[in-house]
Structure 1
Amino acid sequence: MSLWDWTLQAYARPGAPEACLTLQDEFGQNTSLLLWAVWAEAADPALLARAADVARRWEALALVPIRDVRRALKPAFDGVDDGEREGLRDDVKAVELRAERVLMEALEAMTGDQGGAHALAALEAAAAAWGKPAPANALAALAAALG
């Protein structure tokens, strides 16, 4: 199963969206990298470092600016019709999702044989490669949600 298809199924599991958003918004993690690490059963530090580098550069170039625009469009804006603003926000949300998919496809292309790491171990290794601390309980919540 492709990483994207697996991610869509994983994100639909109870608790997964909340766990991903907590790790992203509260702890600065890249959820695409985390989900890839679980899918790939990533254990190799060199592979994780390369993947984190790609994710970090893509996040700075595309994901953060697009996400910032989407979030800025959330509140009402005096002089602009709410329906039009929300329609534009939906368009930006679709672009953000596409940018996440592009990153995941790049990460998938880096993956050789799956590495055999269990979900929590893969999440811990990916968070460490990302270089920002993530509490063990937040990573464990995502691992539990992913099954």
Structure 2
Amino acid sequence: MPNPDLWTFALNCYARAGVETACLELQRQGTDVCVLICAAWLEVRGIACNQERMRALEEVAAPWRHRVVEPLRALRQAWRPLAEEDEALRELREALKGLELQAERSLLERLQTASREWSASASANQWLSALAPKGGCRAALETLRNAAYQTQLELTGV
């Protein structure tokens, strides 16, 4: 069975027990979860990790994250308390959540395109460690790594 595209991998990996919590913790530490999930996808596929490739992912992600994803997320989070008491705002917040998810999907598609020609290597297991925030979150990182390998196995049988 062929390798799944990054979006399919991301949905399946994120749905695993503990991954959402781990990703939110890593996000609070300043990590871009889309880049991190892409890194997990690259790692389980055996794609070689190096500084140039990490920089390429960040160059793709940073503008989209700053201009699109973060403003949508900030507005959605700002509306949370008000939406608890206002049905119309609750519906708008849900629609906004859908836009945020679409923006993340677009980012994952861009990251997949950027990494399309990258080759495999014996040193591929460095992606998550290389992109993890400094000084912590080891348990969250291992949760994501384990989920990524389980997802790859489930989706490809390899």
Tell me the residue number matched to 1:141. Answer: 143
Aligned to 1:7, which of 3, 7, 10? 10
Q: Hey, what's the Cα distance between the residues in 2 that align with 1:92 and 1:24?
A: 19
Aligned length: 138
Q: Residues 40 and 114 of structure 1 are in contact (CA less than 8 Å); yes or no, is this contact kept in structure 2?
A: no
Q: Is the 8 A contact 1:13 1:145 kept in 2?
A: yes
Name the structure 2 match of 1:70: 76
Gap regions ≥5 residues in structure 2: 150-158
Q: Using a 3 Å threshold, how does the CA distance of structure 1 residues 83 and 136 change in structure 2: closer, same or farther?
A: closer
- Aligned-residue identity in percent: 33
Residue 103 (str. 1) matches residue 102 (str. 2):
no
Helix, strand or coil for the counterpart of 2:82?
coil
CA contact (8 A) 1:16 1:145 kept: yes
Do the aligned partners of 1:70 and 1:92 also contact (CA within 8 Å) in 2? Answer: yes
Q: Give RMSD over aligned pairs.
A: 2.0
Give matches, 1:1-147, under 5 Å: 1-25=4-28, 27-41=29-43, 42=47, 43-76=49-82, 82-111=86-115, 112-116=117-121, 117-118=124-125, 121-127=126-132, 133=134, 135=136, 137=138, 138-147=140-149
**Amino acid across the alignment from 2:16:** R
